[in-house]
Structure 1
Amino acid sequence: MTVPLPGLEDNTEQRLEWGNDLVRVVIAHGPHTAPRLVALWHTGEGRPDLGSLRRSALPVLEVAALGDGRTGTSGKRHVDGAAAQRMRLGDVEEEQAGPVRQLRLHLADAESGLRATVHYELADPIPVLRTWAELTSDGELVLDHVTTGVVSGLGHAACWEDELAVWEAANPWSGEFRWRRSTLAERGLYDVGMVRFGQVGSKNRISLTSTGAWSTSEHLAMGLVEDTRTGRMLAWQVETSGAWHAELGDRYDDVYLAAMGPTAHEHQWAGRLAASSGFTSVPVSLAVVPGDAAGPEATLGAVGAALTEHRRRIRRQHLDHQTLPVVYNDFLNALMSDPTTERELPLIDAAADVGAEYYVIDAGWYDDERGGWWDSVGEWEPSSTRFPDGGLGGLVDRIRTRGMRPGLWLEPEVVGVRSPVARTLPDAAFFQRHGRRVAEWGRYQLDLRHPAAREHLDTVVDRLVDTFGLAYLKLDHNIDIGPGTDAGTGEAPGTGLLEHGGAFLDWVGAVMDRHPGLVIEGCAAGGSRTDPATGSVFPVQSVTDQQDYRATPPIAAAAPLALPPEQAGVWACVDGTMDREQLAFSLVTALLARVHLTGRIDTLDAGQRAVVREALAAYRAIRSAVGRSVPVWPLGLPGWRDPWIVQGARDRDRLYLAVWRRGGQDDGAPDTLRVPLPCRLADENVEVLYPRWGGEAVAVLDDGRALELKLPALTSARLLRVRVAS
């Protein structure tokens, strides 16, 4: 039996329309109606039929309270919360400051005392709606889930199980950004026909959930819904550095999307409200793009452009976004956390010789145990044995003398169980559950909400930056601590994790406030924290730990759908065993992102160094364009084993293309590739920017609608620049 949902359309209901020239929303509300998002659309699509969309419309604030639950249905889905159905609209505020427009809806539930302000935000001319809510209560109330990132009507009048597709990205360590596209039926969501018997729907869902402190260690905190009838794409991203959840479900012969931060069911979270304290929900952003007649690759490019510009708008601004300096890091396939003066000096000289601008000493600089440091870290004092004749300071001076700016690796959130710091800081400064500190792989996790934890890290960072004149810090995080912390007080662990994540990002911002110009790189087991909240604070992020240069292109090429290219730190690994085509292949991988040069560059001979020098010179010539560019994928998003991969970056009328050939001896892959240029026409002047020694063949086809490229070796790559017109 199904109980009818309250608030169905009646003659007292009104509609509020709001938006800008690109994106419009319509909200139904009234004395008997919870404010509901009836439609969200791009003006390029044409105005939707609002009347037919009304039945499946969901509240603008989807919320459920403990002891209240859902109404009209049950199950694991995070819609139809009873409190959400009782909310009514009070005041409405609109505001515009420059290109940014805001709509604020003030809601209240008279029965529970729950109050909320729902925020909608649009910035011209970006087709991205950002939304969040601030919640308070007249009395004590505990929330089970809450989101404003909910939209229905996605499968309206469609055979949605086959005509809607969901795009999701697995994000495995060292194989990040693995996108796949599936119909809803292929993901297990079917129209079971129960609506015609008075039921709401199937009660099933397609769900993606991330638990723990690695926000993207299994899936990116984003996805897309594609309507294959029109090509329309709706992209979503959850803007948190911790746990999150998203789901697609059927409801009244239609399909909804709900994206949110942590929940009670998935993450042991509880949102506690009282008259004196409130809660701000995790922001969710929705990009809506009409289908392009040129096909899904062109539509995907429009989605990538919208999300890139949105992320640039909401992030903390930093000079690094414009300068894009070349970084050499001594870790990957080089010192691998085992630095000494003897091993570093040749690398420092080689890095300076090829044109690196920053030199980062990665893990191990604090290690007096010859590799046994994993469970003893926390003091972050330089080793007394690894750096004779001047200590770590002498190495840093050598870096600066050679014309580069110095940096260090640090893992601030962890303290080894054998560290003296584990004994001097109180239990309350660490993650706890059930009266015990949480330990993982020989480490404790600091809780950055606690003043002792923050004071300890402030002391460490200020000492290192001031003592060594550091210009760069790489902050890593190599344990996933589980659902969170109860702080020794019995709070919900998911609440502790969410608040720690916010406190950690606040701390990183405060460090950069105290040390203007300091570049801080975010890293967590490769790309395990490639989320929008982290990207809004860190100037640059590591995207992978992949050590095989031949496996890195599909990671680098797909990364711009998750973060702006000028923030994506991509390894360019080189050493003396590689021929010039292999060197160029590895170097091209980073040229449309942030160059993180690595490997045993001290083993390069004069000719090999010239190959690297030429790549970095080409990068310096185009990096300002990279920082303005938006991504393009002429062949679509890359597959893990694709023999050819193409990544594009469009800067006004210039299109930069990185093309990799990854053929094997017996795979039968052709040595020539046709590269379509969706929505663009190329002129005849195609420049090969790198490498310049030739061997390739490039032709413009179909009156500028495509390129043909032949590469000379099974493992080879080229960076092209093409002048294009719409």
Structure 2
Amino acid sequence: MEAEFATASDGTLRLTRLDGTGSGDPETALPLVELTALGHGSGWSGPRFTGTAFGSRLAYRRHHADRHGGWERLTVELHGPATGLTVFVELSSPAGIPVLRSRVRLRNDGDEPLVVQSVSSLLFAGLPSPDLLDVHRARNDWLAECRWYAEPLRGTVADINVHAHQHDSRAALTLTGRGSWPTDGHLAMGALTRRDDGRAWLWQIESPAGWRWDLGEHAGGTYLALNGPTDAEHQWRVRLAPGEEFTTVPAVLAPGAGFDAALGALTSYRRLVRRPHSDHDRLPVVFNDYMNTLMGDPTTAKLLPLIDAAADAGAEYFCIDSGWYDDTADGGWWNSVGAWEPSVRRFPGGGIRVVLDRIRERAMVPGLWLEPEVIGVDSPFAATLPPEAFFMRDGVRLTEQGRHQLDLRHPAARAHLDRTVDRIVGEWGVGYLKLDYNIVVDPGTCGPDDLAPGAGLLGHAHAYLDWLSGLLDRYPHLVIENCASGGMRMDGATLAVTQLQSTSDQQDPLRYPPISAAAPTGVPPEQGAVWAYPQPEFDDDLIRFTLGGALLGRIHLSGHLNRMSQAQLRLVRDAVDVYKAIRTDLAEALPFWPIGLPGWTDEWLALGMRVSDGRTTYLSVWRRGGVAELTLPVGHLTGRAAHAEILHPTDDSVGTAVWDGDAVRVSVPRAPGVVLVRLTVES
């Protein structure tokens, strides 16, 4: 990764070339940082956060470069003499991984307060003309996550004949995420690809609460601006008193020869920056009792046979999902959560510890579901915790779906959750927490020290991640699954702390494949929890289908295994055994999509994993309809002798796979059907 900088005639530093892309001319590039602040305005009117008044006033002062811990780092210092604002642009790139990471630190060295309304995390204006580019986004809706779509950039940014107007277009293609579900609507990422040669630029914004990116035309090329929350779209502002600092959320840009190559670099980066944990190497099989099984209605009588069946199937963790704290007769626990004490009614004769002990007796690690950030309006903790421990607006405590939202910046809120986890993990010996979050607060809270609700929300979100880090410091072997109604919190900041990510709440096994096939775009495959919920009423093909779809992710078993026949259980055990045989490879494999990213209604879908040994490649291929045979190109193996074998299903009647030197021909005679193929290069 090479980056070139030059100082323009106005004294501002510009990023003029990145990884061979760019004009090299500082006069046609954009300033290294753009920001807006009250009393200063923008440089022109329009929806962009480029061309700001501040951007042209931040003169280059000095820079410092070093190498540390396998990272190349460059810190550029800029200064605005009129306001005294000093800006530090912190750029870094890990050795061997072609990505650029950027964040910006502001320090008010002036004599007066400064209210900042937006500040870019990363800005680059050297991309090709919009005429050449397609822009890619990933819709991310409840039950329909990771749905990528593309369109020409010119479809939004029209050619206005810049030469006639002597001015760039003011149009911009803009995407934002807001509220306490940062990936509700879209993933916090995007991509550009050239239509002529396929070259790609992929990015992500690592914000747990509010983000924006936009693309537009500048000096005949395309600019990319990556921001955290802004005043205009997230009600975010920060007041910097003299001497105070603020640091933006990080943003990452990964160029590559194509989308798959850029995503591979981003995957390697994601693995590098996340918190080290043994779970990322071991990849144990998790059974969760919720999906299409107990559905929030666990009892001792229901759980004990399910625990035995899960252990027999090869599960290594057993997570009791929601409802374990519900002592009501009608299941009306939603508005009363917060104490997180086990139900006496559900677990008579020894309580929940009998169930947890049974899980350990069957050589599995016990887990529990928890929704830590909410307190039900009918919970006693709604009255006993101080008002400042909750989200507030205009002096009114926020209520959403019968819940109040805790503010983890307040010591009482954090102490309450610490006591809860110390009891569950420290006393009960639970080793797995599924942390869910089923409300969304938009735009945030105004605590005593908050200038705007968006700033309060971002402050809470960072405090929540700090709290999670504290848990893992105290309990290093604890495994945390991140969930927010599935994938509504699938952001880079949270994934860098937690070990697993729920990919969806989708209950239909026929609609899950496009989610599981595309999930590695948002999360490394070994962190992406994919449901596999075989049922005794399924025929054998559907059992194989729901199991096979999870084998290149992180398999999360569910289903009424205790009601299955021995023949059906054998199908489950066979799939789990296959997963255990390949999971070491998955922990460092890079994803690719031989027939392109999946469409929601595609009849055929495919996900590949390229192992770093250079010899092994895995392909999951789904058929939901259409013709019975498909040819899948595998570019990195073109022209090489390789052997194709089907690992799952083990029944020879469900499909074939043949390597012809350039591609693999897969036959799946019945739909729905799935095959897991291993391609091994012959020596």
Q: TM-score, normalised by structure 2?
A: 0.97
Take 1:258 and 1:684, find their aligned partners in 2: how far apart are those partners? 43
Take 1:230 and 1:59, find their aligned partners in 2: how far apart are those partners? 29
| Aligned residue identity for 1:273 | L
| Aligned residue identity for 1:38 | T
Quote the residue 1:694 is aligned against. Answer: 652
After TM superposition, the structure 1 = structure 2 runs for residues 672-691 of structure 1, keeping only pairs within 5 Å, are: 672-681=629-638, 683-691=641-649
Q: 141, 159, 174: which is aligned to 1:191?
A: 159
Quote the residue 1:69 is aligned against. Answer: 41
Q: 144, 148, 168: which is aligned to 2:121?
A: 148
| Aligned residue identity for 2:260 | G
Quote the residue 2:266 is aligned against. Answer: 307
Quote the residue 1:645 is aligned against. Answer: 605
Once the two structures are superposed, residues 541-587 of structure 1 have per-residue CA deviations (whole angstroms, 9 ceiling, x without a partner) of: 10100001111111011011111101000000111011222111111
Residue 671 (str. 1) matches residue 628 (str. 2): yes
Q: 577, 589, 593: which is aligned to 1:617?
A: 577
After TM superposition, the structure 1 stretch with the greater mean CA deviation from structure 2, 646-655 or 271-280, is 271-280
Quote the residue 1:16 is aligned against. Answer: none
Unpaired segments ≥5 residues, structure 2? none
Contact 2:645–2:657 (CA<8 Å) still a contact in 1? no
Quote the residue 1:320 is aligned against. Answer: 279
Take 2:3 and 2:92, find their aligned partners in 1: how far apart are those partners? 11
Quote the residue 1:478 is aligned against. Answer: 438
Aligned pair in 2 of structure 1 residues 55, 232: CA closer, same or farther (>3 Å)? farther
Q: CA deviation at 1:276?
A: 3.3
Residue 249 (str. 1) matches residue 208 (str. 2): no
After TM superposition, the structure 1 stretch with the greater mean CA deviation from structure 2, 104-113 or 711-720, is 711-720
| Aligned residue identity for 1:686 | A
Quote the residue 1:17 is aligned against. Answer: none
| Aligned residue identity for 1:710 | S
| Aligned residue identity for 1:713 | R
Q: CA deviation at 1:196?
A: 3.0
Q: 414, 418, 425: which is aligned to 2:374?
A: 414
Contact 1:656–1:721 (CA<8 Å) still a contact in 2? yes
Take 1:337 and 1:276, find their aligned partners in 2: how far apart are those partners? 51
Q: CA deviation at 1:594?
A: 0.6
Take 2:565 and 2:673, find their aligned partners in 1: how far apart are those partners? 20
Take 2:458 and 2:335, find their aligned partners in 1: how far apart are those partners? 25
Could you say what secondary structure the match of 1:512 adopts?
A: helix
Quote the residue 1:705 is aligned against. Answer: 662
Residue 659 (str. 1) matches residue 621 (str. 2): yes
Q: 102, 127, 131: which is aligned to 2:102?
A: 131
Quote the residue 2:18 is aligned against. Answer: 40
Q: CA deviation at 1:202?
A: 2.1
Q: CA deviation at 1:456?
A: 0.5
Q: CA deviation at 1:467?
A: 2.4
Residue 179 (str. 1) matches residue 148 (str. 2): yes
Quote the residue 1:229 is aligned against. Answer: 196
Take 2:473 and 2:121, find their aligned partners in 1: how far apart are those partners? 31
Residue 103 (str. 1) matches residue 81 (str. 2): no
Q: CA deviation at 1:281?
A: 0.7
Take 1:713 and 1:335, find their aligned partners in 2: how far apart are those partners? 30
After TM superposition, the structure 1 = structure 2 runs for residues 562-577 of structure 1, keeping only pairs within 5 Å, are: 562-577=522-537
Once the two structures are superposed, residues 7-63 of structure 1 have per-residue CA deviations (whole angstroms, 9 ceiling, x without a partner) of: xxxxxxxxxxxxxxxx11111226732111112125xxxx75423xx3431111111
Take 2:23 and 2:196, find their aligned partners in 1: how far apart are those partners? 16
Take 1:75 and 1:386, find their aligned partners in 2: how far apart are those partners? 59
Take 2:33 and 2:642, find their aligned partners in 1: how far apart are those partners? 53
Take 1:280 and 1:557, find their aligned partners in 2: how far apart are those partners? 35
Quote the residue 2:464 is aligned against. Answer: 504
Take 2:654 and 2:354, find their aligned partners in 1: how far apart are those partners? 46
Take 2:305 and 2:417, find their aligned partners in 1: how far apart are those partners? 32
Contact 1:30–1:89 (CA<8 Å) still a contact in 2? no
Take 1:128 and 1:330, find their aligned partners in 2: how far apart are those partners? 39
Identity %: 45
Q: CA deviation at 1:91?
A: 1.8
Quote the residue 1:19 is aligned against. Answer: none
Residue 26 (str. 1) matches residue 4 (str. 2): yes
Residue 85 (str. 1) matches residue 63 (str. 2): no
Q: CA deviation at 1:231?
A: 1.9
Q: 161, 165, 186: which is aligned to 2:134?
A: 165
Q: CA deviation at 1:441?
A: 0.4
| Aligned residue identity for 1:185 | R
Q: CA deviation at 1:148?
A: 3.1
Unpaired segments ≥5 residues, structure 1? 1-22, 291-298, 664-668
Contact 1:686–1:698 (CA<8 Å) still a contact in 2? no
Once the two structures are superposed, residues 692-723 of structure 1 have per-residue CA deviations (whole angstroms, 9 ceiling, x without a partner) of: 11114535454x11011111311111111101
Once the two structures are superposed, residues 651-698 of structure 1 have per-residue CA deviations (whole angstroms, 9 ceiling, x without a partner) of: 1220011111111xxxxx110111111132353421211111111453
Take 1:147 and 1:48, find their aligned partners in 2: how far apart are those partners? 19
Take 1:130 and 1:699, find their aligned partners in 2: how far apart are those partners? 41
Quote the residue 2:294 is aligned against. Answer: 335
Aligned pair in 2 of structure 1 residues 725, 212: CA closer, same or farther (>3 Å)? farther
Quote the residue 1:5 is aligned against. Answer: none
Quote the residue 2:256 is aligned against. Answer: 289
Quote the residue 1:363 is aligned against. Answer: 322
Quote the residue 2:672 is aligned against. Answer: 715
Could you say what secondary structure the match of 1:596 adopts?
A: strand
